[in-house]
Amino acid sequence: MSEEVRVRIAPSPSGNLHVGTARTALFNYLYAKKVGGKFVLRIEDTDAERTSQAYIDNIFDSLKALGLNWDEGPDVGGPYGPYTQSERFDIYPKYVQELLDKGFAYECYCTPEELEAEKEEATKNKKAYVYSKKCENLTEEEKAKLRAEGRKPAIRFSIDKARKAFHDSPVIHFEDLVKGDLHQDTSLIGDFVIMKSNGSPTYNFAVVIDDMLMKISHIIRGEDHISNTFKQILIYEALGAEVPRFGHLGMILAPDRSKLSKRHGATAVSEFVEKGYLTEALINFVALLGWAPSDGVEIKNVDEIAQDFRIHEVSSSNSVFEYDKLNWMNGQYIKKLSTEELKERLKPFLTKYDLSELNDEQYTRMVEVTREPLTILSDITDAVPYFFGKDVVVDDEVQTTVLDTETSQEVLKAFVEQAKDWEWTEENLHEKLEVFRGEFKEKGIKPKVTMWAIRGAVTGRTRGADMTAVLAILGKDKVLNRAKKAIK
Ligand code: GLU
């Protein structure tokens, strides 16, 4: 085993960075961080049709936003690059040849139709499909004949030959960092293609060559890769390479225990960010999908998590992505932000308003009095419309049940009459409103009813931020204008 701990995240850019990949990246990162190892990013873009530059950019941006900065990768380089598979195509043939020379691989001339027929036959007999090995023992003459027909061979890995060379039993084992002993009957693994007839390597092959050349010591990834791991171990052995340690993480399920997908809500890191989740909350939440802090304190930053992280303590079972818990956690993180920080972070969610209507002091105060109930940053959008514009949109219900009442009309008339002479500071407004409510109380009108009338007229709503602060922020002109408009 190479001395240095080197881990990697190897996303395929066929979509935006998924939270599941973010968790895998995090666990690799934590594992490396703990022992001063290296965290490598490799882009696995051999499937050109599904790859796009926008997805690659999204992966970079999302990992960076989460604080998962890589030590080596496509943009920063490193000693074992290039780190993008499509730039490595000339590296793979040499290793294919090595396997052919050693007798661990062979040319396969089967056409897609022939293979399809084999698969159909297996389905008909209710058997799991395993390639027939029809091409394993072709003579040079037979191959020449097939080539003369215009066929181009794919290269297949010979499971049985590799297995027999390195293992006594058809059942092979490895010690998983998370799940302990795992084994597989290799007779159930078909001889799989390592290089397609067009010369492009397949995932199981390219990943081994890259991990080998990039000196990856530990591979932590989702348990959906366990069946691949057995294939990959045999390739390492066939190449005479050191087999890295593997750790497989349980899957992330939706609250309904099905695979987490779009229909449950956001799944890509960037979607969460667009919805107003903080990346520091998201990464903390994602860490808890399979890992638990030893002191039971769940709110922790990545450095604190790294101190406490032990891969063998990661749960081997599936975790449920509880959106409610993420919301709670995000709310906790918002509460921890300073007002200055929050002012900045809220700006992308206030673009429908003209922020220049508020000076810095007013904007600060608005954030102070509206931040309490925020669980996601985008909650601000619907919480503040009445801070902007000359007029206000009044809810129909507020109009009929609050503003149209005789009491409200009476309150508003008195308010306009008195308030025009008030000194418009928050402190003074607080005192004046106290007195104002008192006067109406003597006439038998409850203080909250008095305030509803003012709030309804000024904000169009019956609930919202501290009323005195709202009046102060809006300023006398806007407040009186709105109050007058509400008077019939
Ligand atoms: N590109 C593969 C994926 O995204 C990587 C799997 C692995 O970690 O080996 O699933």
What integer pLDDT is reported at residue 171 of this predicted model? 98
Q: Whose Cα sits closest to atom 6 in ligand 1?
A: 10
Judgement on whether residues 365 and 438 belong to the same structural domain of the protein: yes
What integer pLDDT is reported at residue 16 of this predicted model? 97
What integer pLDDT is reported at residue 46 of this predicted model? 86
Pocket test for ligand 1, best of 44, 226, 248 (most atoms within 8 A of CB): 44
Judgement on whether residues 361 and 477 belong to the same structural domain of the protein: yes
Domain span at 310? 6-73+252-320
Q: Is the residue at 332 inside a domain?
A: no
d(CA 296, CA 66): 23
Instruction: At 124, list the tokens.
Output: 């008909």
**Would you say 331 and 276 are in contact if contact means Cβ atoms under 8 Å apart?**
no
DSSP class per residue in 399-467: IIIIITSHHHHHHHHHHHHHHTTS---HHHHHHHHHHHHHHHHHTT--HHHHHHHHHHHHHSSSS-S-H
Pocket test for ligand 1, best of 63, 203, 229 (most atoms within 8 A of CB): 203
CATH assignment at residue 125 = 3.40.50.620
CATH assignment at residue 470 = 1.10.10.350
Q: Which atom of ligand 1 is nearest to the CA of 11?
A: 4
Tell me if the bond preceding 74 is cis, omega within 30° of 0.
no
Q: Is the residue at 202 inside a domain?
A: yes
Confidence band of 49 (pLDDT split at 50, 70, 90): confident
Instruction: At 25, list the tokens.
Output: 């990246």
Phi, psi of 130 (to 5 degrees): -135, 135
pTM score of the predicted model:
0.93
What integer pLDDT is reported at residue 339 of this predicted model? 98
**% pLDDT > 70, the chain:** 100
| Mean local confidence (pLDDT), 159-181 | 98
CA of 39 to the centre of ligand 1 (A): 15
**Would you say 213 and 95 are in contact if contact means Cβ atoms under 8 Å apart?**
no
CA of 481 to the centre of ligand 1 (A): 62
Judgement on whether residues 36 and 104 belong to the same structural domain of the protein: no
**Would you say 66 and 97 are in contact if contact means Cβ atoms under 8 Å apart?**
no
Judgement on whether residues 12 and 102 belong to the same structural domain of the protein: no
Pocket of ligand 1 (CB under 6 A): 10-12, 44, 207, 221, 225
Which DSSP state fits 359? -
**Would you say 458 and 475 are in contact if contact means Cβ atoms under 8 Å apart?**
no
Is the pLDDT reported for residue 379 higher than 60?
A: yes
d(CA 486, CA 472): 19
Q: Which atom of ligand 1 is nearest to the CA of 221?
A: 8
b/e per residue 237-265 (b: at least 16 CB within 10 A): bbbeeebbbbbbbbbbbbeeeeebeeeee
d(CA 231, CA 207): 11
Hunting for tokens 């904007």 — which residue is that?
363
CA of 11 to the centre of ligand 1 (A): 6
Pocket test for ligand 1, best of 42, 207, 227, 248 (most atoms within 8 A of CB): 207
Judgement on whether residues 245 and 258 belong to the same structural domain of the protein: no
Q: Is the residue at 1 inside a domain?
A: no
Nearest-CA neighbor of 301 among 284, 288, 287?
284
Q: Which atom of ligand 1 is nearest to the CA of 219?
A: 8
Judgement on whether residues 354 and 261 belong to the same structural domain of the protein: no
Q: Which atom of ligand 1 is nearest to the CA of 9?
A: 8
Q: Is the residue at 279 inside a domain?
A: yes
d(CA 316, CA 77): 33
**Strand segments (E) across 140-217:** 154-157, 171-176, 180-185, 193-195
Judgement on whether residues 127 and 217 belong to the same structural domain of the protein: yes
Judgement on whether residues 120 and 243 belong to the same structural domain of the protein: yes
Confidence band of 47 (pLDDT split at 50, 70, 90): confident
CA of 186 to the centre of ligand 1 (A): 21
Q: Which of 249, 272, 307 lies at the terminal end of a domain, its last residue? A: 249
Q: Which atom of ligand 1 is nearest to the CA of 211?
A: 9
CA of 8 to the centre of ligand 1 (A): 10
Q: Is the residue at 410 inside a domain?
A: yes
The H-assigned helical ranges of 103-139 are 112-124
**Strand segments (E) across 160-295:** 171-176, 180-185, 193-195, 218-222, 245-249, 252-253
Provide the domain count of the chain: 3
pLDDT digits (tens, 9 = 90+) for 434-450: 999 999 999 999 999 99
Amino acid at 42: R
Q: Which of 249, 270, 299 lies at the terminal end of a domain, its last residue? A: 249
Catalytically annotated residue among 126, 262, 352, 488: 262
Query: Which residues, 6+ apart, have CB-to-CB distance to 299 below 8 Å?
Result: 284, 329, 332, 333
pLDDT digits (tens, 9 = 90+) for 193-225: 999 999 999 999 999 999 999 999 999 999 999
Is the pLDDT reported for residue 294 higher than 70?
A: yes
Mean pLDDT in the chain? 97
What integer pLDDT is reported at residue 1 of this predicted model? 47
What integer pLDDT is reported at residue 152 of this predicted model? 97
Q: Is the residue at 335 inside a domain?
A: no
Instruction: At 132, list the tokens.
Output: 């027939």
Judgement on whether residues 362 and 472 belong to the same structural domain of the protein: yes
Rounded to the nearest 5 degrees, what angle is found at the Cα of 18, between the Cα atoms of 17 and 21?
A: 90
Helix, strand, coil: what percent of the chain each, to 5?
50, 10, 35
Q: Whose Cα sits closest to atom 5 in ligand 1?
A: 10
Judgement on whether residues 277 and 156 belong to the same structural domain of the protein: no
Q: Which atom of ligand 1 is nearest to the CA of 8?
A: 8
Q: What is the dihedral of CA 370, 322, 286, 183, to 10 degrees?
A: 180
**Strand segments (E) across 27-126:** 38-41, 105-108
Q: Is the residue at 81 inside a domain?
A: no
Q: Is the residue at 329 inside a domain?
A: no
Judgement on whether residues 98 and 179 belong to the same structural domain of the protein: yes
Q: Which of 233, 249, 265 lies at the terminal end of a domain, its last residue? A: 249
Judgement on whether residues 344 and 430 belong to the same structural domain of the protein: yes
Instruction: Count CB-CB contacts under 10 A for residue 468.
Output: 19
Pocket test for ligand 1, best of 6, 8, 12 (most atoms within 8 A of CB): 12
- Our answer to whether residue 94 is catalytic in this structure is no
pLDDT digits (tens, 9 = 90+) for 225-274: 999 999 999 999 999 999 999 999 999 999 999 999 889 999 999 999 99
